[in-house]
Structure 1
Amino acid sequence: MIAQLPADADVRKRLREDFETTFFVEAGAGTGKTTTLVDRIVALVAAGKLTTAELVAITFTEAAAAELRARVREGLEKWGTAETATAAASLEEASIDTIHSFAGALLRTYPLEAGLPPNFDTLDQIEQDLEFRERFRSWFEAAALLDLPSISIKNALLLGLSPDRIEGVARALHEHYDLLDSGASWPAPPAREALPRAAELAEKLRGLERWREDCLDPTDRMYDRMGELAMSAERLAEADSEGKALNALLLLDGFPIRIGKKANWRHDSLYRLRGELEGCLEEAREILSSRRAEILNGLLKALRDFVLEYAAERRKRGVATFHDLLTWARDLLRDNSGVRARAQARWSRIFIDEFQDTDPLQAEIAFYLAARAGVAFPAHWLDAELVPGKLFLVGDPKQSIYRFRRADIALYQKIQERVGEDVALVQNFRSVPAVIEFVNYHFGSAMHFEPDVQPEYRALVAEPSKEGGLWSFGAELAQVRQPEVWRREAEDVARSCRVVKDQGWMVSRKSDGERRMEPARWQDICVLIPTRTNLRRLERAFESWGVPYRLESGELIVMTQEVRELVSCLRAIDDPSDQVALVAALRSPAFGCSDAELARWRDTGGRFTYEAPGDGEAPRVREALGDLAELHRLRHELSVPALVETFIDRRLLVAQGFGQPRPRETWRRYRYVAKRARDFAATGRATLRSFVEWMEGLEREQYHDSGVSAAEEDDEAVRVLTIHGAKGLEFPVVIMTGWGSARRPERTQVIPDRIQGRLEVGIGESWRTPGYKLASEREKRADLAEAVRLTYVASTRARDHLILSLWRKEAWSEDPPAQAAGFEESL
C-alpha cells in the first residue's frame, strides 16, 4: 500500500532541499516541526554545506536541546555516508543549546571583549531571585533612611505605595533592564505642592460647616461624615510641612460625594453642599495626583539607577543572571564589529526552534549572527541584510503563551514580515480527525488576526483513518456563584476519568515500531487546568470517585494541602510568635491536634507558644509544643534540608502517607519540599526563615517548575498539568477544564514596548506614567488574545480523545464553551 503524502509535502521537500532561502516556518501543532528541522540539518551536512562546528541550533529548554541533539545524531547515522558518519561522531562540536547556554558560551569565548572575567559564573534561578530580593531590600532601607528629595521613599509610603509594590516594580524593571539606560526617564507634569495650598483649602472646608444647620436629621450619612471634613480642615490648617499637608489631604482621598438624602435637608442645601464639596475634593485630588506623579518620577529614576548599578556590579563581580547572558551577548555582538565578524564566520547556519516564545534579545542575537559580513550595520537590527539561507526560524504563533517570560507576538509579526519566505506546515500527525475538525472550527472564528496582538489562524489537516472522538460535559448555569461552577466541573472531570478507564476507551499506542489500539490506562488520561484556582476541589473529586492522580507541575504541587501544611510547620518552628502558623501546625497531620483539644488546652490555662506554653490539660498539644521547641533549638544546629528531613522523619509523615488514597503522591509532595530545601541551601543561604519566605512566595507567583520527579513506570495515575506544563507534550486522552472561568487580565505593573524601546509603569489607579493607560489597554487585548492561544495549546495536546468541560455561568454566549456546545458528543 502506497503511503499518502502529507498535504504540505511540497513545502517539506523545499525545506529539505532549498538551502539558499531564508525560511520562516509556521509549524502548526503536531505537524512534526522538530523532524523538519532535523531533516534540514542532516540534508545540509550530507550535501557538504554544513559541518557540525558551524552549526547553531537553539531551542527552548535543556530537555528539548538534548532531544534535538539525539535526533540529529540519529538522522546523521541513518543517512549512511562517510560524511554524515563523521558528523555524527563530532556532533559535540555543534552548538545545540538553549539560548542562555549559547550566549554564555559566546561570552566565555570573548570574555575580555565583553568586559568579563574568563571564569564568570551563572546564577541559577533561585540564586537570582534571592540575591535580587536581598540587594533591593538593602537599597530600600538605605534610601528610606536617607529620604533624599529626589527619591522621597517616605512620601511614597505616606501616599499609599507599599514596600512590596515598590519591590515588584523594581523586579520588573530588572527583568527588562535591556530597555533602560542611564538617561531613561518618564515625563511628569509640574508638581503642585500641598503645603502652599493647605491653608486655603482648609478655609474652604471650614466653610462647608455652615450647611450642617440645614440638616433636619442628624443621622443623615452626609451630616454624620462631615466631621471627617472638619478634621481634615483642622490638620491642613496646622500643617507645617509637606508630609503633614499630604497626610491631611489623604483624609479626603476617596471621600464619597453621593451620600445623604434630599429629604433630610432644607430646600436644595444638600445639592449645594455637594457642589462645594466636589470642588474641594477635586482640588485635593489634583494636588495628590500631581505629587504622586512627581514622586513616582523620582522613584522610577532611582529604581532605574539601582537596577543598572546592580547589573554593572554583577559584571564586575563575574556573576550573571540568565537575562545578563542575553543582554551582554547582544551588547558584545552589537558594539564590537570584530567579534561580530568572527562569530559570523564561525557559524554558517543558525536554526531557532519555538521562535514564537523567543526572548526578543534572542532574535536580536540571531540577526547579528546571520547578517551579511562586510556591510555597514543599520541603525536598527531589524533592518539588517541577512545571508540567504543562513537563518532558519520555526515556530507557531498560535502557541505563543509565554508573555510572562518576555515572549512578544508583536516582534514575532514584525520579523515574519521582514525575514525570508513565510511557509506553513499544516499536516497534523498527532490528533484524530474529530479533534482537528473541532480545532479548525473553533479557532477559525475565535482567533482573529490583529496586528501586534493575535496571529491569523491557519487551519490544520488531519490524517485520515484515525479513530477517536470529541466529547463534552457540563452546561450553562443560571444564578450560581463561580465556586459552584468549579465544584460541578471537578465532579465531572473525576467521573469522566472513571468512564474512560472503566469502559475501556481505545487509544493508540506505539509498540514494536507499530501503532496499535489498546484500552486506556490511567496514565493515558491528562487533565489540563489553566490556573491553580480549582485544584483543591479537583483533588477532593478524584478522591471521592476513587481516581488515582498525579500532579506533574511544580506550581501545582506547591499549592497542595500537604506542602502548605509542611511550610506552616516550618514557619512555626522558626518563629514562636507566629500564632497563626503555630495553630495551623498543631492542627496538621504532623501533630494531629483536634479543635476540641486546642480549645481544652486554652481553657485550662495553656498558651499557644512553645516558649512559655503554660499548664494546659491536653497531652497531645503539650507533646507537640515540646517537639516544636526542640526543633526550634535544632534550627541553629542543622542545615535547612537536614531540618526539613528531620521534621518529616520525627513526625512520621511518610508512614502517615499509607493512610492516604495515594501514598506515592503524598510522599512525592514531601520529597518536593525536601528537594527545594536542598536547592535553596545550594545558594549559600542558611536560614530557615528565608527558605519559608521563599516557599510562600512560590504560592503567590506565576512560574513553571520543570524540576518535578518523573513518574515511576508502574505508577498508574491520571496526569494533572497546567497548560504551560503540557506545552510540547501529547496525551491519548485530554480533559480540558477552566473554559468557563472568567478571563481577568492581570494588572501588569511594568509594560514593555519593544518596538519603541520604552517601559510604562502603573501601580494601582493612582500611580501611573503618562503612557501607561494606552499601554494598559494594549496589554489587556494581548492578555485576552493569549488566553485564546492557551486553549489552542490545550486542545491540540489530545491524540485520540478530547473531552471539553462546558460548565460556565449564565449569559456567556460569546465564551468558548458556548461556541463549542453542540459540536461534540455528550459524555
Structure 2
Amino acid sequence: MEGLPPIDFRGELNAEQFAAVTSRPGPALVLAGAGSGKTRTLTYRVAWLLHQGARPWDILLLTFTNKSAKEMLERVEDLTGVPRGQFWGGTFHSIGQRILRRNAAAAGRQPDFTILDQKESEQLFSEVVKETDGAFIKDKTNPKAAVILDAYSHARNTLRPLEEVLTERLDWMKGGPDKLLAFCARYEARKAEGNLCDFDDLLALWLKVLETDPAALAHYRQRFQHILVDEFQDTNRLQSRIIDLLGDRHQIMAVGDDAQCIYTWRGADWENIMAFPQRHPGTEFHHIDTNYRSTPEILAFANEILRHRPKVDGFDRRLLAVRPAGPAPTVFTVGDTSQQAKLVGRKILQLHNEGHAFGDIHVLYRAHYQSLELQMELTNLGIPFVITSGHKFFDLIHVKDVLAHLRFVHNPRDQVALSRLLCLLPKVGPVAANRITQAAQEVEAAQGRGLVRALRDPAVLRKVPETAKDDFNDLTITLEDMLEGLEAARAKPAPTNPAPDLFTAATEASSVKVARTPAETTRVCIEGWYGTHLKTLFPDWRDREQDLTGLLGFAAKFEDLGDLVAQVALLNGESSDKKAEPEEDMLRLTTIHQSKGLEFPIVFLLGVADGLLPLTRAIDDGDVEEERRLFYVACTRAENMLFLFAPRFAVSGEGYRPLDPCRFLEEMSPDCYELADYAHRRL
C-alpha cells in the first residue's frame, strides 16, 4: 500500500516480536507469554502487511472484546495513518453481524434484523415455553428459561449435540430432554418469524452462511487474504470452525497462550490452540517469551508453574526477564482463613505506611466467597476497597435472599425481609406480598401462633396466586423448620467447658464445641426451598452454591442469630456507600478470571490450598489443569511483589475443615519463593 509512513520494524520490536511480525503469510501460531507485548505484536503485524502491499480490507482481525479491538485499530491508525474504518476488525460477534447483514437471505433473515440482548432472549424463550407447554412453567422443579437457554447456548458454541448437553447440564431435572428440545426448536422458529437474532446467532448463522452458500464462502475466502486472531486459546469450536472455513489457504496467524486458557467452563476449547498445527499443516511456531511486566523473581516462580504442566511438543516455554531484580514471592502459611484475612489486612497497612498506594495493591481469589472474611477485616481496619469483579459479598442477590430468611425467622416483624421472600415466588409482586402479609398478621393476631407459623394457615394460602402455591408451601415449611431448630437451640443448655476457639476444637476431637446455631439455621435454609429455587433460576447455580457455602462459614463464627444479622447490617452500612472514584486511592479485590489481561504492582493471592485453589469441584472432576492455568494467570499479574497465602483450615458450617497443601506449590522448587510460617501465631 502506497503512502505509508516509514516504520523501523527491527528497531521498534525485539527479536521474537520481529520474527513473528515479519513471518511469511502461511499458517503461524504465535505463543505469546504473559506480559510479552502481544498487542504490540499484532499491531505491527497489521502494519507490516500493509507495507507488503496488503489492502486494509484484505485483513480480518478478530478479537474477544470491543476494548481490545478498538485499542489495536487505533494503534494501527497511529502507526500507518490508515483510518480504522477501512479494516475488517472487531469481535467475532461484531464481524458476524456485518457479514449476516450482507448475506441475510442465506441466514434466513432480512438485512434489518434486530439483535436481542440477554434479557430479551430470556423473555422470548419464556413466552415460547408458556405457549408450548403452560404446565411446564408452573412446575417449580423445572428449570427456568435462563437455565435452559444457557445450556442451549453452550451446545451451539461447542457444536455438541443439543440433547447430549441438555442431559449433561440439567441432569437434576425430572424427565428427559424431549420437551426442552421442542422449546429450543420453537424458539428458533419465533426468532426467524420476527426477524430476530440472539447473540449466539451472530456466530451460528455466520457459520450457516459459510456452510450453505458456496458463493458467500468463496467471496470471503477471497476477501480475507490475511486472518489474524487474538486470544486464540479462548476460542470455542464454533469460532474455530468459522476460522478454518475462511482460512482455506491457511492464511491464518493465531496469537495466544495455551497456559492462559481459563474459560473452558463457558465453551472455550483448549484443543483449538493445541491442534492448530495439525489442522493447518506447515504451521510456523513463534515464541514471544520476553516479559516486560514482572521482576525476574516473579517470573522464576511462574516458570516453575509452567514446568510441571503436561508436556506437548512445540509448546514448551520459559518466560524471560528484562527488569531488575526484586523481592522473591512470599508464601505465608496461616492457620485458617480468618487468620489469612487478619494477616492480609496487616500486610496491606504495612505496605501503605511504607509509601505504597492502596490502588497499587490487588487481591485475587479463585471464587467470590473466598473474599468474605477479608472484606470484613478491611472494613474493620478502615481500609478503602472496591470489588472490581462484581458486588460485595453481602450485596449478592442469592446471599441477600438467604439473609432475608435469617432476618425473618429472627424477627418475624421484619416486613422488608418477608416481602423479599414472597416476591421470589412466581406471580407475586409487592401488592400480592402485602396481601399475604396482612392475612398472616390477622391469623397471628387471632391465634397467637407467631407470624412464621401463621403463614402456614389455609386462610393465608388463599391469598397466594395459584401458580405460586407450591413454592409458597415449600418456603413456609423451610421457614418453620428454621424456626423450630432455632427454638430448640435456644432451649439447649450451654456447654460447661467449651473449646476456647474453633481452631482448637477442630484439632482436639475430645473438646466440647459450642453449638453454632446460626450455621445450622442457615444450612436448613440452603438445603430447603431456596436450594431448589437457586438451581432452577440461575445458570451458574454451582458458583452461587459455593458462595452460600462461604456464608455457612461466616455464620459458624456466631452463637446467636441476632448477632449474625446485626453484624451483616453493620458491615453493609459501613461500606455500602463507598464507590470507586478514578482519583480515589482504593484497594482492589477481584477474581482471577476477571484479572486476566491486567497487571498490578502488588498482588495478594488468597486461598492457595487444595479445596480453594484448586477448587474441590475441579479436583473431584479431574480437571486440575485449568486450575493450574488459573494459578499461573494470577501470579503473572504481579509486576513488583507477589504474596501468596496458604491456609491450613477453612471455616464451614460444621466448624473447621482441614485443607491439604496446594498441589501446585507442593511440586514446585522451594528455591523460587520465601516461606513465612504464621500457622501457629496469634494475630
The TM-score normalised by the length of structure 2 is 0.66
Out of 301, 306, 309, the residue aligned to residue 443 of structure 1 is: 306
- 1:27 deviates by 0.8
Match of 2:394 in 1: 560
Partner secondary structure for residue 386 of structure 2: strand
Out of 59, 66, 69, the residue aligned to residue 65 of structure 1 is: 69
Q: Which has the larger radius of gyration?
A: 1
Deviates more, 1:807-816 or 1:360-369: 807-816
- 1:178 deviates by 6.4
1:780 counterpart = 2:649: no
Match of 1:797 in 2: 637
- Residue identity over aligned pairs, in percent, reads 25
Distance 1:815 1:562, change over 3 A: closer
* Alignment check: 8 A CA contact 1:529 1:736 kept: yes
* Alignment check: 8 A CA contact 2:129 2:136 kept: no
Distance 1:314 1:580, change over 3 A: farther
Alignment of 1:718-797 (within 5 A): 718-742=587-611, 743-744=614-615, 746=617, 780-781=621-622, 783-797=623-637
1:52 counterpart = 2:31: no
Out of 542, 555, 558, the residue aligned to residue 378 of structure 2 is: 542
**Alpha-carbon distance between aligned partners in 2 of 1:696 and 1:306, rounded to the nearest angstrom:** 17
**Alpha-carbon distance between aligned partners in 1 of 2:102 and 2:109, rounded to the nearest angstrom:** 11
Amino acid at match of 1:584: A
Distance 1:170 1:62, change over 3 A: closer
Match of 2:437 in 1: 609
**Alpha-carbon distance between aligned partners in 1 of 2:107 and 2:627, rounded to the nearest angstrom:** 40
Deviates more, 1:817-826 or 1:37-46: 817-826
**Alpha-carbon distance between aligned partners in 2 of 1:126 and 1:553, rounded to the nearest angstrom:** 21
1:459 counterpart = 2:318: yes
Out of 10, 28, 45, the residue aligned to residue 23 of structure 1 is: 28
Out of 337, 346, 369, the residue aligned to residue 214 of structure 2 is: 337
* Alignment check: 8 A CA contact 2:128 2:186 kept: no
- 1:729 deviates by 0.3
**Alpha-carbon distance between aligned partners in 2 of 1:411 and 1:110, rounded to the nearest angstrom:** 27
**Alpha-carbon distance between aligned partners in 1 of 2:419 and 2:194, rounded to the nearest angstrom:** 46
Match of 2:570 in 1: none
Alignment of 1:330-479 (within 5 A): 330-372=207-249, 386=250, 390-419=251-280, 420-445=283-308, 447-449=309-311, 457-475=316-334, 477=335
Distance 1:391 1:804, change over 3 A: same
1:584 counterpart = 2:417: yes
* Alignment check: 8 A CA contact 1:170 1:303 kept: no
Match of 1:108 in 2: 101
Deviates more, 1:726-735 or 1:561-570: 561-570
Partner secondary structure for residue 640 of structure 2: strand
- 1:817 deviates by 4.0
**Alpha-carbon distance between aligned partners in 1 of 2:631 and 2:417, rounded to the nearest angstrom:** 37
Out of 144, 169, 175, the residue aligned to residue 154 of structure 2 is: 175
Amino acid at match of 2:417: A
Out of 344, 349, 354, the residue aligned to residue 503 of structure 1 is: 354
Amino acid at match of 1:492: L
* Alignment check: 8 A CA contact 1:734 1:797 kept: yes
- 1:36 deviates by 0.5
**Alpha-carbon distance between aligned partners in 2 of 1:467 and 1:29, rounded to the nearest angstrom:** 18
- 1:795 deviates by 0.5
Partner secondary structure for residue 609 of structure 1: helix
Alignment of 1:51-450 (within 5 A): 51-76=55-80, 85=81, 87=82, 90-136=83-129, 139-142=132-135, 162-164=141-143, 168=147, 171-177=150-156, 299-372=176-249, 386=250, 390-419=251-280, 420-445=283-308, 447-449=309-311
Partner secondary structure for residue 240 of structure 2: helix
Partner secondary structure for residue 254 of structure 2: strand
**Alpha-carbon distance between aligned partners in 2 of 1:582 and 1:699, rounded to the nearest angstrom:** 29
* Alignment check: 8 A CA contact 1:732 1:801 kept: yes
- 1:568 deviates by 8.7
- 1:538 deviates by 1.3
Distance 1:96 1:502, change over 3 A: same
Deviates more, 1:57-66 or 1:430-439: 57-66
Alignment of 1:567-578 (within 5 A): none
Amino acid at match of 1:46: H
**Alpha-carbon distance between aligned partners in 2 of 1:700 and 1:431, rounded to the nearest angstrom:** 36
Amino acid at match of 2:286: V
Amino acid at match of 2:213: N
Match of 1:715 in 2: 584
Amino acid at match of 1:824: Y
* Alignment check: 8 A CA contact 1:111 1:118 kept: yes
- 1:107 deviates by 0.3
**Alpha-carbon distance between aligned partners in 2 of 1:562 and 1:177, rounded to the nearest angstrom:** 29
The TM-score normalised by the length of structure 1 is 0.55
Distance 1:37 1:436, change over 3 A: same
- 1:327 deviates by 0.8
Amino acid at match of 1:23: A
**Alpha-carbon distance between aligned partners in 2 of 1:185 and 1:114, rounded to the nearest angstrom:** 25
**Cα shift readout 1:416-451 (whole Å, capped 9, x = no counterpart):** 433222221111111010100111123312x22479
**Alpha-carbon distance between aligned partners in 2 of 1:144 and 1:560, rounded to the nearest angstrom:** 30
Amino acid at match of 2:154: E
